[in-house]
């Protein structure tokens, strides 16, 4: 069985420095958006040799869009040698699916 899958995404992120500091780092907030496009190989169906009801077809997810906010610092906060990631929340939707995503780390 050989199948393949591909994904393309395009996004933006705007960051703005807030008016306060956390230690030696300055706090910032970001607004971001990402468009996802999925590519997948569709197999050809084989002929059915017996009479049976047609299976229900479930459409696949081909496109999604995500919009969200994130909070971070410049430079990144660090505890010993462990850097603290950005924290964010976003809403991803498309092709009949919607979900909330919590982010610890980079957006893209």
For the chain, what is the mean pLDDT?
82
Q: How far, in Å, CA of 54 to CA of 24, rounded?
A: 64
10 Ramachandran zone, left/alpha/beta (phi>0; psi -120 to 50): beta
Please write the tens of the pLDDT for every residue from 17-52.
Answer: 998 988 888 999 999 999 999 887 666 555 555 444
Question: What is the pLDDT at residue 58?
Answer: 37
> Percent of the chain scored above 90 by pLDDT?
42
List 61's β-bridge partners, or say none.
none
Give the count of alpha carbons within 13 A of 34, CB side only. 15
**Higher pLDDT residue, 9 or 79?**
9
List 22's β-bridge partners, or say none.
25
Break the chain into its structural domains and give their ranges: 11-39+61-104
**Higher pLDDT residue, 8 or 56?**
8
**Higher pLDDT residue, 19 or 53?**
19
């Amino acid at each position: 069985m050989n199948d393949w899958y591909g994904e393309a995404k395009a996004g933006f992120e705007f960051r703005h420095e807030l008016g306060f500091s956390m230690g030696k780092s300055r706090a910032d907030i970001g607004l971001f958006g990402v468009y996802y496009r999925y590519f997948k190989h569709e197999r050809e169906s084989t002929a059915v040799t017996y009479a049976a009801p047609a299976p229900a077809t479930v459409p696949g997810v081909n496109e999604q869009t995500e919009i969200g906010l994130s909070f971070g610092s410049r430079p990144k906060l660090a505890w010993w040698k462990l850097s603290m990631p950005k924290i964010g929340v976003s809403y991803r939707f498309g092709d009949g699916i919607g979900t909330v995503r919590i982010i610890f780390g980079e957006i893209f």
